Amino acid sequence: MTFNGPVGAFEVEYRAQSLPTIWGNQIFIDGNILVTTRYLSLSPIRAALACHATLTGDTIWTRNYAENGVMIVMGFKNGQIYARNFQQQGFDTIYAINPANGNVIWKSRHTVERGIIWSAAFADNGDLIIPGSGTKSVMRINNLTGDTVWTRYRIIPNTGAECMCVSGNTVYTFEGGITTPKRLMAIDINTGAIRYYSQSLPGDGYQEIPFSIGKDGTIYIVRDGGELHALKDSGTGFIQLWSRQLPGAVGTYSTFGVLFNDDLIIGAGKRIYKIDNVNGSIIDSTEELISGGTLNARIAVDAYDAIYVGNGASIPSEGKTFAFDKDLNTLWSDPVPYNYYSGPALASPFNIGGVFTAAQEAK
C-alpha cells in the first residue's frame, strides 16, 4: 500500500510490512484507519482482513473469521467495518466488525449475489444496501443488528453482482438478465417499493458494474457492449440527457470519476477519457496505460481535481497507479502488480490528503 500527499504539496510513501497478498483488493478508509483483504492462498482459496494505520502502515490487526472462503471488505461506515465471507455459492455471512480490535459486533447469514469485489451502498442512517440473489435480489440490512429490513426481487444474470448506487431516498440499480432487456430501476430506500424503470438500454446480457452519480444528480451508466448513458431522475421517471459510444470497451470492474465541474472521467480501451457532462463529447484523453487487453480503470478524484487511476492490467506485471491533473497531464505513476481487483482509495487523515493502493505483496 502506498501513500502520496496532495498533488503539488508533498509526497510520502510507505509500504506495509505485515502480511503478503497474492493480489490487491479493495481498500476502505475511515480517518486514520484502513482495511483491506489479503489473499493468503488460491488453492484452497483463503483470504483474511487486514487493518492498518493510514499514516504509518503499521498493522493494527489481521483476522480470518471463517475456515472456508474469502473475507471481502464491503464498506466502512459510522465506525463499523462491513465484510462478508465470500463462498462463491450465494450463501454468505455478513459481518459488522469493530475497527479498533477486529472483534465481531454481529454476523448475519444472507443469500447474496456472487461477485468478488462488489461493495455495499448505504442509507442515511448507515443501513446496508446489498445485492442479494433469488427472490431477495436487493436487500436493506439493519446496521445495528444485521437483520433484514426489506427485500426486493429483480431479474439479474447469474454472472456476478450488479452495481447499485444510493442518492437521497432512492436506490438505483439494473434489472434484466442474459436473455431479457436491461433497464435502470429506482427503488424507495425506506420501503423497498419499485418506483419506476428506464427504457431498455441496449447491450449484452452480462453484469453491469460501471455506475456512478454526479454531484448534480446525473446518473452515469455504461452497458457491456453498449453505450455510455447520462440520465436524470425527474421524480416520476428517468430522462435521458445523452448517450454515446465510447472509443473502446469499458473494463468489467471499472469505475467512473467526476470532476468538480461535473465532467466525467472514464477508462475505455487503453486510455482514460474526459467526457463533457453536458453533451457527452470527448474533451481529452491520456496516453495508452496498458500494452494489451482492455483497461480495467478504477478511478478516484480528490478535492484538488487530481485524478488517480488503477489500470487493472490483465498482464499482472503492468499493474500501475497513475495520477493526472484535471487536464489529463501525467503527474506520476507507481508500479502496483496484480491490481486487477484493487484501485485507489482517498483519505484525509489529520487533514493530510492521501491515496492508497493495494499491490501484490508488501515489500
pLDDT (tens, 9 = 90+) of the chain, 363 residues, equals 443 444 433 333 445 545 566 777 888 998 889 999 888 877 777 888 999 988 888 899 999 887 777 888 999 999 999 999 887 666 788 999 999 999 999 999 888 877 666 789 999 999 999 988 877 889 999 999 999 999 999 888 765 566 889 999 999 998 888 888 889 999 999 999 999 999 999 887 776 678 889 888 999 998 877 899 999 999 999 999 999 999 998 887 888 999 999 999 999 999 999 999 999 999 999 999 999 888 989 999 988 899 999 998 888 889 999 999 999 999 999 888 888 788 888 876 444 457 787 766 544
The pTM for the full model equals 0.89
Q: How many beta carbons lie within 10 A of that of residue 111, not counting itself?
A: 16
Q: What string of DSSP letters covers 59-116?
A: EEEEE---SSEEEEEEEEETTEEEEEEE-SSSEEEEEEE-TTT--EEEEEEEEB---S
All residues at 6 or more sequence positions from 160 whose CB lies less than 8 Å from its CB, including other chains: 113, 114, 115, 118, 206, 207, 209, 252
Element counts in the chain: helices (H) and strands (E): 0, 30
**Looking only at Cα atoms, what is the longest distance across the chain?**
53
d(Cα 361, Cα 279) in Å, to the nearest integer?
Answer: 42
Selection from 294, 343, 291, 341 nearest residue 322 by Cα: 343
> Rounded to the nearest 5°, which phi and psi values hold at 316?
-50, -40
d(Cα 209, Cα 175) in Å, to the nearest integer?
Answer: 12
Q: In what order do the strands lie in the sheet with 194-197?
A: 164-167, 170-175, 183-188, 194-197
d(Cα 351, Cα 348) in Å, to the nearest integer?
Answer: 5
Cell of 82: 462491513
* Three-state SS at 316: helix
d(Cα 279, Cα 275) in Å, to the nearest integer?
Answer: 8
pLDDT for residue 210:
80
Q: What string of DSSP letters covers 164-225?
A: EEEETTEEEEEE--SSS--EEEEEETTT--EEEEPPP--S-SS----EEE-TTS-EEEE-TT
**CA distance readout (Å), 289 to 73, 182, 285, 321, 323:** 27, 31, 11, 10, 12
Question: Which helix (H) or strand (E) segment is 309 a member of?
Answer: strand 307-310
Cell of 165: 448506487
**CA distance readout (Å), 43 to 22, 73, 317:** 12, 21, 22
pLDDT for residue 46:
82
d(Cα 243, Cα 222) in Å, to the nearest integer?
Answer: 9
* Three-state SS at 311: coil
Degrees, nearest 5: CA angle 9-13-18: 150
